[in-house]
Amino acid sequence: MMSEPVYITGIGCVLPGATGHAELRTLLGLPDSQVDRAPPDCTSPLAAIGEFDSSRWVRPIKARRMNRIGLLATVAAHLALESAGIPDDGHLPETTGIALGTGLGCTRSIDEFFRQTLVDGPDLANPAIFSTSIPNAIASQVAMRLSIRGPNVTVSQREVSGEIALLLGMDWIRSGRAERVLVGGADEFSNFLPQHLAGLGQVAASGEPSCPFDQRSTGAAVGEGVTFLLLEGSGGKERRRARVTAGAMLGTPVPGETVDRSGTALRACIEDCRAESQASPGLVVCGASGDRDLDLAHARALRDFPGGEPPLITAPKGMFGESISSGVLAAAVGVIALTEAVAPGLPDLQDAIPECHGMNLPRAPTEDLELSSVLIAGIASGGAAAAIVLES
Amino acid sequence: MGAVSGFGLGVKALCAGLRSGASAIGPIRSFNADPYRVKVMAEAPPCSDLPEATTRCDALAVWAAREALHSAGLGGDQVPGERTAVLIGSSAGGTTAVERLRREQILGEHTPDFRNLRGCTLSSPGDSVALDLGLSGPRMAVSTACSSSAVSIAIAADLIRSGRAEVAVAGGVEAASESLFSGFHSLMALDPELCRPFDSRRRGLVLGEGAAVVVLESESRARKRGRTPLAFLTGYGLCCDHHHITAPEPTGREAARTMHLALRDAGITAAGIDHVDAHGTATPAGDVAEIRGIQTVFADHLDQVTVSGVKGAIGHTLGAAGGFGILASILQLEEGVVFPTANLEEVDPECRAPHVLLMARDTRPVRILSNAFSLGGNNISTVLQAPDDE
C-alpha cells in the first residue's frame, strides 16, 4: 500500500515579514527576528502579520465573504501552487486534496461572534461570522476559492498540528487517496490568544526575553502565519524540491496541558524515522519556542543525536514566534535548507539551557550548507510528538 | 463500541432508543436559553464517575472510549498502549472551557482567570482519552465540523492498514455549547420543537451532545485473540463539495460523488448496499440535496435499499454525528434490523426514498452506506459490512 513516493514541489506562505517562497528564503538568511519584544497593545512579545492586502490574489468581491485567516490561507495556498508551476485556473483534478493543521482555528471570528451574541443579543449576531468561525472553515475557504475537490481534512494537535497535517498528506499520496495535497499550517493572532497562551504558562510577558533554548527566556513570543506546501506523487517532476521519506507520530499520556519534558515520544518518533529512511540528517528544524518545558523536551529528545556529527539544530519559532501550527513552516525551512543551502539561526540566543550541552545551535544563519537530509521534529503540550525526514 | 447520547450512558441505551423510534430531545439544561427563540436540545446525562477537573467534552469522550475498549475485550492491560492510536474528532472541542472566560472578559463581570484553561483545545478530548487509557500511539484530533468523527474513524482505519498503529480508538465528541448553539441559532437553522428529517414539516436541526467511539483493528489481529469483528469498514469516500460554507450543493451531485467514491473504495456497486444511514439533518436544503444524491447513486436500485438516520432521535451531535451514524450502522448490521427515522411521519415529496418509518424493520442488512456531510463541505461516506458476508 505504501509505495508511491512523495515529493514537495511548492512552497507558499504569509508570515510576519515574508509573503511567498522568495521572501521567506531572503528572511532566513538574515540575522534578525520578526519578534517585537514589547509591542503596543499586546501583553506578550509578538510577531504579527498586521494588515494584509490580499487583493492581488483574491478578488475583493470574493474576499468580502471570507475571514482574515481564510484569506491568508488562500493566498498561501495559491502561492504554493504557483511555486510548483501549477496554474490556479480552477481546473485542478479531483485527486487534489487539502490537509490543514491548526492549533486554535478561526479565533478572531469566534471572539467576534461570541461578543456579538453576548453584547448585541442572539438575534443580532452575524451568521456569516459564525459560519467562518469553525476550524475547518479555513481549509474550506481555500477549497472554494481554488476549486479543490479532493479530500479536505483539518487536524489539530496543539503545537504539532502542522506536522500531523504533513503526515496525513504524505499518507494520502502513498496510499493513492490523492495525487496532490496542499498541506498547510494556519493560526492567527487575536486579542484572546496572548491571554490564552499566557494562561497556559507558555508565553513570555511583554518586554521579557523570549528565545528557544535560552536560559533567560520566560516563554514563547506569540506568532501567527500560514504556510502551505504542495505534496505530489509521481507527478510534478520538474519542480521536485525534496522527497518526504519517513514520518512518525506518537504520544505520551501526560495530564492536561503539560509537556512530557523527557522528550520520550519524539525520541521514539526519530528512531522510527531512522528505521524507515536510514538518513542521517545534517539539520534538525524543531518546535522549541522559548517555553521552558517545550525547550527542555526538545533538548532531551535531540541531544546525543544518533549517528555521527551532531546536526545543526534550529527553531523557526525564534524568528516567527509561536504560531502553534508552524510545523509546516518548519518543513518549508527544511526544504529551503536542502535546495538553497541556507538555514536560519537563533538570533536572540545568548545563554543556552544546560540540557543543550553538545548541541549545535548557531545564532547566525548558516549559508552554503551541503545537506542530503533534514529532520523536522516537534513536541506538543498534551503529549503528542511527530518527526518527518526530508531528503534531497 | 462506546457511546454517551441523549438516550443515556452506553451503547445499549443508544441501541434501544434508536430501535424504538423514540426522541431524546428536551428542554436545554446546560445553559440559560432564555435569550433564544429555540429552547430544545438532546443533551446527554452526566458522566459522574469521572474526575471533577475534566471538562464536559473530555468526560464524554473518556466515558465512551472506556466503554469501547472494554467491549472490545481490550480493557486493562490487554491493549497494546504503544501501538494504539487515538483519534477523537469534534467541531469545537473544549470550547465550553473557554466560553466562561470569554463571557467574563467580554461582559467584564469578573476578571477572567486564564490559568484555568485546562481542556480548552480541539485536541483535549483525545489527549484525555490517551491519558485515561494509557495510550501512546499516534494521536490526531480531526475537526471537519459535522463529519469529524466519521473522518477520524476512516483515517484510523488507514493508520492500521499502513502499519502506523495496531489498534485505534476513534470517533468523536461534542458537548453542549452556547457558542455553537448561538451560531446555528443565528443561521436560523434550528427547529424550535423537534428534529424531523425528510418530513414535509421539518424546520431545521436540533442540536445534541454526546460521544461515539469505536475500536478498530485488523481482522487477523481480532481473530487471533479470539474475537469476531462486529463489522468491517470496507471503504470510504472523502471529498470537498467546494460549493458554499453552509449550504450543500443543491443538485445532490457532490453528495453522490462522495457516495460513489466510497463504493469504489469498497470495491462494490450501489447494488451491493442494503441500507443508507443518511446524514439527514432536517434542514430544508440539506435533506433534499442528500436524497437527490441517493437517487443518483442508487438509480434503478433505489427500491432495493432503505434509508433512515439518527438525528431525529439524538439530535445533531456535530463532531460526534458521523460517529453515531457509524455506530448505528454497526448496530443495525449486528441486530439484523434497520432503525426508523424518529419523528418522520409525512415524507416530503422532494425527499422521496424508501424511508423507514415509525418502527424498526427486520431486513438483515449486510452492507450499509453511512453519510456524514459537513459545514464547509468536508464530506465523507463509509461502507460498513457485516462479518458474515466475508
Up-side HSE of residue A380: CA atoms within 13 Å toward CB?
35
pLDDT tens sequence across B307-352: 999 999 999 999 999 999 999 999 999 999 999 999 999 999 999 9
**How high is the pLDDT of residue A91?**
85
Fold entry, domain B232-389: Peroxisomal Thiolase; Chain A, domain 1 (3.40.47)
Decide if B2-224 and B232-389 have a common fold: yes
| Torsional sign, CA A271, A275, A280, A283 | negative
* pLDDT band at residue B107 under the 50/70/90 scheme: confident
The least confident of A290-294, A307-311, A386-390, B301-305 is A307-311
> At residue A306, does pLDDT exceed 80?
no
Question: Cell 518548519, residue?
Answer: A330
Contacting residues for B197 by C-beta, under 8 A, at least 6 apart? B278, B280, B281, B282, B287, B309, B311, B312, B341, B343, B344
Q: Work out the angle between the directed axes of helices A327-340 and A161-175 (0-180°, nearest 10).
A: 70
Kindly state the greatest CA–CA separation across chain A: 65
- Active site (annotated) includes residue B110: no
* pLDDT band at residue A309 under the 50/70/90 scheme: confident
Domain ranges in chain B?
A: 2-224, 232-389
A254 touches chain B (CB under 8 A): yes
* pLDDT band at residue A336 under the 50/70/90 scheme: very high
Q: How many CB pairs under 8 A join A and B?
A: 235
H/E run at residue B9: strand B8-9
Up-side HSE of residue A32: CA atoms within 13 Å toward CB?
11
| Torsional sign, CA B252, B258, B260, B263 | negative
Considering chain A, what percentage of its residues have pLDDT values greater than 70?
99
| Torsional sign, CA B243, B244, B250, B255 | positive
Asked whether the beta carbons of residue A153 and residue B375 sit closer than 8 angstroms, the reply is no
B252 touches chain A (CB under 8 A): no
Fold entry, domain B2-224: Peroxisomal Thiolase; Chain A, domain 1 (3.40.47)
pLDDT tens sequence across B111-145: 777 766 777 889 999 999 999 999 999 999 999 99
| CA B242 remoteness from chain centre | 22
**How high is the pLDDT of residue B51?**
66
Nearest to A288 by CA among A228, A227, A211, A362: A211
A382 within 8 A of B127, measured Cβ to Cβ: yes
* pLDDT band at residue B389 under the 50/70/90 scheme: very low
- Active site (annotated) includes residue B316: yes
A125 phi/psi in degrees, rounded to 5: -70, 135
pLDDT tens sequence across A28-52: 999 999 999 999 988 899 999 989 9
Asked whether the beta carbons of residue B239 and residue A254 sit closer than 8 angstroms, the reply is no
What domains does chain A contain, in order, with CATH numbers?
7-239 (3.40.47.10), 242-391 (3.40.47.10)
**How high is the pLDDT of residue A287?**
98
pLDDT tens sequence across A376-390: 999 999 999 999 999
Please report, as a single letter, which amino acid is at residue B302. Answer: L
pLDDT tens sequence across A4-26: 789 999 999 999 999 999 999 99
Cβ-count burial of B272 within 10 angstroms (0-12 exposed, 13-18 middle, 19+ buried)? Answer: middle
Question: Cell 448561538, residue?
Answer: B182
A303 touches chain B (CB under 8 A): no
A294 within 8 A of A217, measured Cβ to Cβ: no
**How high is the pLDDT of residue A191?**
78
Please report, as a single letter, which amino acid is at residue B147. Answer: S
Exactly one of B260, B275, B316, B355 is catalytic; which is it?
B316
Question: Cell 454526546, residue?
Answer: B210
Measured distance CA(B173)–CA(B148) in Å, rounded:
9
Q: Are strands A222-223 and A152-156 parallel, antiparallel or unpaired?
A: unpaired
B113 touches chain A (CB under 8 A): yes
* pLDDT band at residue A136 under the 50/70/90 scheme: very high
The rounded mean pLDDT for chain A is 94
Mean pLDDT of B185-194: 96
A116: left (phi over 0), alpha (psi -120 to 50) or beta: alpha
pLDDT tens sequence across B6-46: 999 999 999 999 999 999 999 999 999 999 999 999 999 98
A6 within 8 A of A314, measured Cβ to Cβ: no
Residue B71 burial (CB count, 10 A): 17
Residues of A in contact with B112 (CB under 8 A): 195
> At residue B275, does pLDDT exceed 80?
yes
> At residue B72, does pLDDT exceed 90?
yes
Considering chain B, what percentage of its residues have pLDDT values greater than 90?
85
**How high is the pLDDT of residue B242?**
86
H/E run at residue B88: strand B84-89
**How high is the pLDDT of residue B53?**
60
**How high is the pLDDT of residue B119?**
76
Strand partners, A229: A11, A183
Q: Work out the angle between the directed axes of helices B178-186 and A107-119 (0-180°, nearest 10).
A: 80
Mean pLDDT of A173-185: 96
pLDDT tens sequence across A220-271: 999 999 999 999 998 777 788 999 999 999 999 998 778 999 999 999 999 9
